[in-house]
């Protein structure tokens, strides 16, 4: 009887397990993970101008292929990556046909590095530069899922398929509210191309970068792919004032603003006794700049006394310059002591190159973090020596006792020698 009951129980357990397997197949978990995975579509210009030999002595196409191979090797496992081309297939003069020349070289999905590299190796500079149509198709490539979506566009020239303005296309994509970011990289220092690629990036909250070397291209694309894999933090738009008295009061968070050349922007932060203010600022040099520039971040009291500052300087073309500061507010003996208002001043010494527009201002990103500061009683001890004061005291005492003992032994040995 007992054996029969055990056999029946075992059969029931097996049936339950099979039912669970049917109701919740193993692929369901994987599908859910894929649905939330970040997606990246690399969009590469393969137009005829990519034959030019001006990047490290080789062609622009060769530089792009080398960069792509290194990026594919470094792509995080959780990123769904695809590759789309523009101008890769139609070599003729028919503008209508040339402006439809965009194709998905490798579909957005789990990355097979060997297969993707093989596909990239087949590319040869061919035709037109249909940036607008390629962006529309790339947005479709990234459709679906709840993870972050990013297009990385690499081009060496302007779109040749007007009146379909790629900047308007980017604004159209942004207006859909699907959380898609477009970052652009320009391979030649061309003013019109830079203006167009900057406009595309700005429309979706992305970045524009000018690159002239293969290693710069590799590093930048790697950064953007890695950024897609990071948790998404949406900056809050704010508007700094021209004085502390008029400045907005900020809480802990990430903020964006714009700052004109040589302008200063003010923000306010309330810091309670025992808390520490940590702030950093990055200003994006999104256009040609004159050399010798810098960014200054100051923490100032409401009465104008400087508390602490952070500054950074540069002497050549760069995309972002950053600096930061920390200010620990001392604890108070008073109960319910009021918070201190700290004024943050951001100043830059950028100047525009000849013929470069100075408006709108440069993108500015400000991070504010107000945290509990270190306990003065435990972290800052006597004589400003921190937690190591006791060790120094022990060493001094040990040295003193050792000196006394050595002196006593020396005198004892001398007295014995005299006696003998």
The pLDDT, as a whole number, for residue 285 is: 75
Of the spans 10-14, 93-97, 243-247, which averages the highest pLDDT?
A: 243-247
Q: 336: which 2 tokens?
A: 């319910």
Residues with Cβ < 8 Å from 258, sequence gap 6 or more?
Answer: 360, 361, 362, 363, 364
The pLDDT, as a whole number, for residue 18 is: 40
CATH 2.60.120.380 residue window(s) in the chain: 236-374
Residue 23 has pLDDT above 50, yes or no: no
The pLDDT, as a whole number, for residue 380 is: 38
Strands 180-186 and 208-210: parallel
**pLDDT tens profile 270-282:** 999 888 999 999 8
- Asked which of 19-23, 111-115, 162-166, 210-214 is least confident by mean pLDDT, the reply is 19-23
**pLDDT tens profile 154-203:** 999 889 887 889 999 998 988 887 779 999 999 987 888 888 998 898 88
Q: What is the CATH number of domain 236-374?
A: 2.60.120.380
Residues with Cβ < 8 Å from 105, sequence gap 6 or more?
Answer: 44, 83, 84, 85, 88, 119, 120, 123
Of the spans 7-11, 178-182, 343-347, which averages the highest pLDDT?
A: 343-347
For residues 145 and 418, give the distance between their C-alpha atoms in angstroms, rounded to a whole number: 96
Confidence of residue 354 (pLDDT cuts 50, 70, 90): confident
- Asked which of 22-36, 144-158, 216-230, 231-245 is least confident by mean pLDDT, the reply is 22-36
Residue 320 has pLDDT above 90, yes or no: no
Average pLDDT in the chain: 82
The mean pLDDT of 216-239, rounded to a whole number, is 84
The mean pLDDT of 238-258, rounded to a whole number, is 93
The pLDDT, as a whole number, for residue 15 is: 40
For residues 23 and 54, give the distance between their C-alpha atoms in angstroms, rounded to a whole number: 59
Residue 229 has pLDDT above 90, yes or no: no
The pLDDT, as a whole number, for residue 266 is: 96
Confidence of residue 363 (pLDDT cuts 50, 70, 90): confident
Report, at the CATH architecture level, how domain 37-229 is classified.
Answer: 3-Layer(aba) Sandwich (3.40)
For residues 304 and 294, give the distance between their C-alpha atoms in angstroms, rounded to a whole number: 22
**pLDDT tens profile 45-66:** 999 999 999 899 999 999 999 9
- Asked which of 21-35, 279-293, 401-415 is least confident by mean pLDDT, the reply is 21-35
Confidence of residue 284 (pLDDT cuts 50, 70, 90): confident
The pLDDT, as a whole number, for residue 29 is: 41
The pLDDT, as a whole number, for residue 331 is: 74
The pLDDT, as a whole number, for residue 4 is: 46
The pLDDT, as a whole number, for residue 404 is: 73
CATH 3.40.50.410 residue window(s) in the chain: 37-229
Residues with Cβ < 8 Å from 348, sequence gap 6 or more?
Answer: 259, 261, 262, 263, 283, 293, 294, 295, 296, 362
For residues 82 and 89, give the distance between their C-alpha atoms in angstroms, rounded to a whole number: 18
The pLDDT, as a whole number, for residue 147 is: 86
């Amino acid at each position: 009887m007992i054996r029969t009951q055990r056999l029946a129980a075992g059969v029931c357990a097996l049936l339950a397990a099979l039912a669970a397997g049917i109701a919740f197949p193993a692929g369901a978990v994987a599908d859910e993970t894929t649905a939330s995975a970040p997606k990246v579509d690399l969009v590469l210009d393969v137009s005829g101008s990519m034959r030019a030999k001006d990047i490290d002595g080789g062609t622009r196409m060769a530089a792009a292929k080398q960069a792509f191979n290194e990026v594919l090797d470094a792509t995080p496992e959780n990123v769904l990556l695809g590759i789309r081309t523009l101008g890769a297939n139609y070599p003729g003069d028919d503008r209508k046909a040339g402006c439809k020349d965009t194709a998905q070289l490798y579909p957005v999905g789990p990355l097979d590095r060997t297969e993707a590299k093989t596909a990239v190796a087949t590319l040869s500079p061919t035709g037109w530069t249909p940036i607008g149509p390629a962006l529309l198709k790339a947005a479709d490539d990234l459709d679906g899922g709840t993870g972050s979506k990013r297009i990385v566009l690499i081009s060496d020239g302007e779109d040749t398929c007007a009146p379909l303005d790629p900047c308007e296309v980017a604004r159209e994509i942004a207006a859909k509210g699907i959380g898609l970011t477009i970052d652009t990289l320009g391979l030649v220092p061309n003013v019109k191309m830079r203006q167009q690629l900057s406009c595309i990036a700005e429309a979706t909250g992305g970045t524009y970068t000018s690159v002239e070397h293969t290693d710069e291209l590799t590093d930048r694309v790697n950064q953007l792919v890695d950024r897609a894999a990071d948790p998404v933090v949406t900056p809050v738009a704010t508007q700094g004032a021209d004085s502390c008295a008029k400045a907005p009061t900020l809480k802990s968070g990430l903020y964006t603003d714009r700052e004109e050349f040589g302008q200063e922007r003010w923000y306010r932060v309330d810091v309670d006794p025992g808390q520490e203010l940590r702030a950093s600022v990055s200003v994006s040099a999104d256009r040609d700049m004159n050399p010798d520039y810098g960014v200054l971040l100051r923490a100032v009291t409401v009465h104008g006394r400087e508390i602490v500052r952070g500054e950074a300087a540069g002497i050549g073309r760069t995309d972002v310059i950053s600096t930061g500061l920390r200010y620990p507010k001392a604890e108070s003996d008073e109960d319910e002591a009021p918070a201190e208002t700290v004024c943050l001043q951001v100043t830059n010494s950028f100047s525009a190159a000849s013929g470069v527009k100075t408006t709108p201002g440069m993108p500015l990103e400000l991070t504010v973090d107000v945290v509990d500061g270190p306990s003065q009683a435990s972290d800052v001890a006597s004589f400003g020596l921190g937690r190591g004061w006791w060790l120094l005291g022990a060493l001094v005492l040990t040295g003193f006792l050792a000196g006394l003992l050595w002196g006593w032994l020396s005198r004892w040995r001398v007295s014995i020698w005299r006696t003998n």
